[in-house]
Structure 1
């Protein structure tokens, strides 16, 4: 896990002490935290962005997610990032609308241009929208099938260290891993699903083993030791 997302606005309606304990626990294990993009959009729409950023900084999260998933923002990327970084907060930007259906050719072009503007302004990563269903939204059609060509456009433009794909359920997780292999970064994976995703990513799942880009390489003999196994299964193919 590279970052823990405190999704949606759950942390804003939970007890403050519970939210602080969650953030503190993540920090103890050296796991960065990021807030979901919904509260950011509400704060911007209602003219309360400074107060929202103050709140995020106060509870100790590492990063905020920005976006225009269900609102239109009249602020420049550079201004938002300046306000966030002045409070010690990093920024990631979400690409795509929540209610506009699956992406189109022109839409992907516009999103790539938008994403580049945010990166140029100082955003660390881009997130591709998939909501909770991964159906009829973003890269997924009304049956939940992944549009590989559109996914490739994001990956080739930004690279796997910069673009992250929302994968909220098993079909979307497996589809992205099957297509891209183990290097792809997924987000919005529920905590209880992390082990399944990592088993699949490492080619140790029955459905993953048939994919050359996921199947683990043959193990190499390790030096004999009374404290270790003679043969070790690599976690990732080199």
Structure 2
């Protein structure tokens, strides 16, 4: 295991948890949502926090709103920092609804994206069509991240569908299955209308997940990130993280914030 170290701080200060791995990570991955960062802000994000970002999503259908030049530069910067750049899953749903799926994938590959999100948060996808979308993405050499759950406020979780989707998506080649939480983190999936976690539903959900390393939890709010780290561990995969919160989340993962200090610090005698 190659851990992330700092050239200037003692290892016990840089990572008191002593568990954070360097990229490419299989667990403890962080997916960031970009809802319209300018190039300067995007480059600043890469320089400051690029080492702590594994996947970066251009939220919903914003990919269609960039000029080709800006899209290309974002893709180049992401690739230089070993970050998988993906368009939002809603954009692929638009392509399905508009009947332009082949054009979507051709453009995704040409623009420099290195992955896609296959979701049905807004439209209904048959299992066959979901499989075809995953296969088409893989044929284009793209990483595939699928999503489970609807964006509609108050949507309930079908547990038999959950476990079937996880197994099927993994079998088809999906790297991670994302649990829907929207960019707001409120009123959907395991979150109530104020963003709190519905603990009974969450516990029941855990009983139906065969391997936690296969799952990415959308958790845009700090309270949600903290809850999931405490419940699952620092190697939990977290998504829809706002760009300005990447460093804060990394500090949570390492025990560099009071919230996870006792949870993650190794026991040792105080000394000077």
TM-score by length of 2: 0.73
2:88 is matched with which residue?
36
1:46 is matched with which residue?
98
2:229 is matched with which residue?
177
1:131 is matched with which residue?
182
Unaligned runs of 5+ in 1: 221-230, 232-238
Equivalenced residue count is 216
* Greater relative CO, 1 or 2 (CA 8 Å, sep 6+): 2
2:34 is matched with which residue?
none
1:94 is matched with which residue?
147
- Structure 2 distance, partners of 1:158, 1:187, is 20
Offset of residue 56 of structure 1: 0.6
For residues 120-159 of structure 1, give each alpha carbon's deviation from its aligned partner in whole angstroms, at most 9, with x where no partner exists. Answer: 2222210000112212100111232213444455556242
- Structure 1 distance, partners of 2:155, 2:129, is 26
1:11 is matched with which residue?
63
Quick one: structure 1 residues 90 and 154, their matched pair in 2 at CA, closer, same or farther if it must change by over 3 Å? farther
Secondary structure of the 2:216 match is: strand
> Is residue 127 of structure 2 the alignment partner of residue 84 of structure 1?
no
> Is residue 266 of structure 2 the alignment partner of residue 217 of structure 1?
yes
1:161 is matched with which residue?
213
Please say if residues 78 and 122 of structure 1, whose CA atoms lie closer than 8 Å, have aligned partners that are also in contact.
no
- Structure 2 distance, partners of 1:26, 1:3, is 9
For residues 150-200 of structure 1, give each alpha carbon's deviation from its aligned partner in whole angstroms, at most 9, with x where no partner exists. Answer: 445555624232100001122222222222221111011112100111111
Please say if residues 168 and 188 of structure 1, whose CA atoms lie closer than 8 Å, have aligned partners that are also in contact.
yes
Secondary structure of the 1:138 match is: coil
Give the 5 Å matches for 1:58-73.
Answer: 58-73=110-125
Unaligned runs of 5+ in 2: 1-52
CA RMSD after TM alignment? 2.1
Please say if residues 118 and 134 of structure 2, whose CA atoms lie closer than 8 Å, have aligned partners that are also in contact.
no
Quick one: structure 1 residues 16 and 133, their matched pair in 2 at CA, closer, same or farther if it must change by over 3 Å? same
Please say if residues 129 and 137 of structure 1, whose CA atoms lie closer than 8 Å, have aligned partners that are also in contact.
yes
1:27 is matched with which residue?
79
For residues 102-121 of structure 1, give each alpha carbon's deviation from its aligned partner in whole angstroms, at most 9, with x where no partner exists. Answer: 534xx133222122222222
Could you tell which deviates more after superposition, 157-166 or 196-205?
Answer: 157-166
TM-score by length of 1: 0.82
- Structure 1 distance, partners of 2:241, 2:203, is 21
Offset of residue 218 of structure 1: 4.4
> 1:147 aligned to 180, 198, 208, which one?
198
